[in-house]
Amino acid sequence: MDERPIGVFDSGVGGLTVVKEIRAILPTEDIVYFGDTARVPYGNKSIPVIRRFCLEIVNFLETMKVKMIVIACNTASALALDHVRRNTVLPVIGVIDPGVRAALRKAPSVNDREKKIGVIGTRATIKSEAYQKRLKRLDSGCSVFAKPCPLFVPIVEENLSDSIIAEQTLNMYLDEFRSLSLDALILACTHYPLLKKSLDIFFDKKVILIDSAEETALEVAEILKAHRISAPSERNGTDEFYVSDSPESFMLVGSQFLKHPLDKVFLEPVWQRTSEK
C-alpha cells in the first residue's frame, strides 16, 4: 500500500484526458498533474529543449513525492521518455506504447490480411516516427499510415470539436484515409479524444479509434500492481493541478477535458527551481 500520488505531466491541458481515465479506473489514487502552460506547445520545439523542460518538470514532481510518473504528452513521450527514465529512479511510462499495443490487439485479423493502422498526431510526433517504428517492431507485417494534423489542437482548445470547422479540417487532413479501409486509427495526441465523435461520423464508425488516454490509464493500473504501490482501497483519491502560467485559462479549458470544474489549480514556474540550483 502506498498513498503517494501518481505524477502526470503534459505541455498543457491535453494530458487531462489521461487524468480523466486514471480517475475513472483508479478512484482511490491521488494525482498530481503538471501542465507546462507557459511553454506550450511542445509540438514544434527541438529535442534538446523538450528534454530540458521534461527534466525540470520531473524534478518538480519528485519534490511532490510522487510514486510514478506518466508522461501524458505524445511529443514528450516520443522525444524524451528514455531521457527521463535515465534521470529518475521512479517508474515512468509514456502514452505511445499503450496506444501501439492496443491498436495491434484491437485491430481485427481478417483472413490473414496484414493489419492497416493509421496514426494521427502533431507534426513533431509524426515526424519522430515513434509510433511507426514501434508498430513495425511489434508487428513487422502491419502497414502504417501516418498523418500530422496540426490544426486539431487549437480546434479542440477553442471548444470547436463538433463544429463545421472541425468537419472541414477532418476532411482536409483525412480524406485520403477514408479509402484505405483502416483497421484501427491511433489518436496519437492527448487532445484528440475530444474529436472522437466527429471522427466516428467522418469514418461512419468503420474504423476502431484507439484512445491513448484510456490505454495509458490501464497501464498505470498494471504498474501500480506490479510494483505493489497501489493506494489503500476505501479512500477517495484527490487531484491537484500545477501549471507554469495562467491557472485561470487552464481551469477554463481544462473543465472541457474533465467534464467538471477544476479546483486546486496552482501556479508553479518550474524553471525557477532549476535556475536557482
Residues recognised as catalytic:
73, 189
159 makes contact with its own copies (CB under 8 A): no
Query: How far is the C-alpha of 125 from the C-alpha of 56, rounded, in Å?
Result: 21
Give the DSSP H or E segment for 143.
strand 143-148
Per CB under 8 A, the list member of 15, 31, 39, 122 interacting with its own copies is 39
11 makes contact with its own copies (CB under 8 A): no
158 makes contact with its own copies (CB under 8 A): yes
275 makes contact with its own copies (CB under 8 A): yes
230 makes contact with its own copies (CB under 8 A): no
DSSP designation for 230 = P
Q: Give the cell for residue 74.
A: 505524445
Identity of the residue, 33 or 250, whose beta carbon is nearer to its own copies in the bound complex:
250
Query: How far is the C-alpha of 67 from the C-alpha of 52, rounded, in Å?
Result: 21
Q: Which has the closest alpha carbon to 244: 215, 265, 230?
A: 265
Q: Which stretch binds its own copies (CB under 8 A): 76-84, 132-140, 151-159, 191-199?
A: 151-159
Backbone angles phi, psi at 217, to 5 degrees: -60, -40
For residue 52, give every residue at least 6 positions away whose Cβ sits within 8 Å of its Cβ, in sequence order, or none: none
Identity of the residue, 45 or 134, whose beta carbon is nearer to its own copies in the bound complex:
45
Question: Per CB under 8 A, which of residues 80..139 are in contact with its own copies?
Answer: none
13 makes contact with its own copies (CB under 8 A): no
184 makes contact with its own copies (CB under 8 A): no
- Local structure of 100: helix, strand or coil: helix
CB of 160 to its own copies, least distance (A): 8
Question: Per CB under 8 A, which of residues 45..74 are in contact with its own copies?
Answer: 45-46, 49
CA 258 to chain centre: 14
Cβ atoms within 10 Å of 31's Cβ, excluding its own: 21
Per CB under 8 A, the list member of 63, 110, 162, 168 interacting with its own copies is 168
Length of the chain in residues, anyone? Answer: 277
For residue 11, give every residue at least 6 positions away whose Cβ sits within 8 Å of its Cβ, in sequence order, or none: 35, 36, 39, 40, 41, 42, 43, 53, 73, 75, 76
Per CB under 8 A, the list member of 27, 105, 114, 163 interacting with its own copies is 163
Q: Which stretch binds its own copies (CB under 8 A): 135-143, 155-163, 226-234, 254-262?
A: 155-163
Residues near its own copies (CB under 8 A): 37-39, 44-46, 49, 150-151, 154-155, 158, 160, 163-165, 168-169, 172, 245-246, 249, 269, 271, 275
